[in-house]
């Protein structure tokens, strides 16, 4: 008999945030919000594949431990495929 009321495991994705000259953060996350040229985009595990231009704003990563990591960015790109998100940024501030 299975135990009820236990914690439910959340789906996660691999996230890599990189600047031109160095990696900024890599890890496992349950969600990421990225400023795109079209407005803020939320990415969750199993999102459809997407490629977009990053605009100025704050990238917010919610880790699998429910911690928040934030990065102020000016421009770049994001790519999401097969539960791997890569955010490449030209400039951070």
Using an 8 Å Cβ cutoff, are 41 and 33 in contact?
yes
Query: pTM of the predicted model, to two decimals?
Result: 0.87
pLDDT tens per residue, the chain (93 residues)? 444 444 556 899 999 999 988 999 999 999 999 999 999 999 999 999 999 999 999 999 999 999 999 999 999 999 999 999 999 999 788
Pick the CATH number of 11-90 from 3.30.70.2860, 3.40.50.620, 2.60.15.10, 2.40.128.30: 2.60.15.10
Using an 8 Å Cβ cutoff, are 92 and 54 in contact?
no
């Amino acid at each position: 008999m299975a135990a009820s009321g236990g914690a439910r495991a959340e789906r996660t994705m691999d996230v890599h945030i990189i600047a031109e000259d160095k990696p900024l953060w890599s890890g496992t996350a349950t969600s990421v919000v990225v400023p795109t040229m079209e407005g803020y985009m939320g990415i969750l595990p199993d999102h459809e594949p997407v490629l977009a231009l990053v605009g100025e704003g704050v990238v917010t990563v919610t880790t699998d431990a429910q911690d928040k990591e934030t990065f102020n960015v000016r421009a770049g790109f994001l790519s999401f495929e097969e539960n791997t998100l890569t955010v490449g940024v030209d400039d951070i501030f």
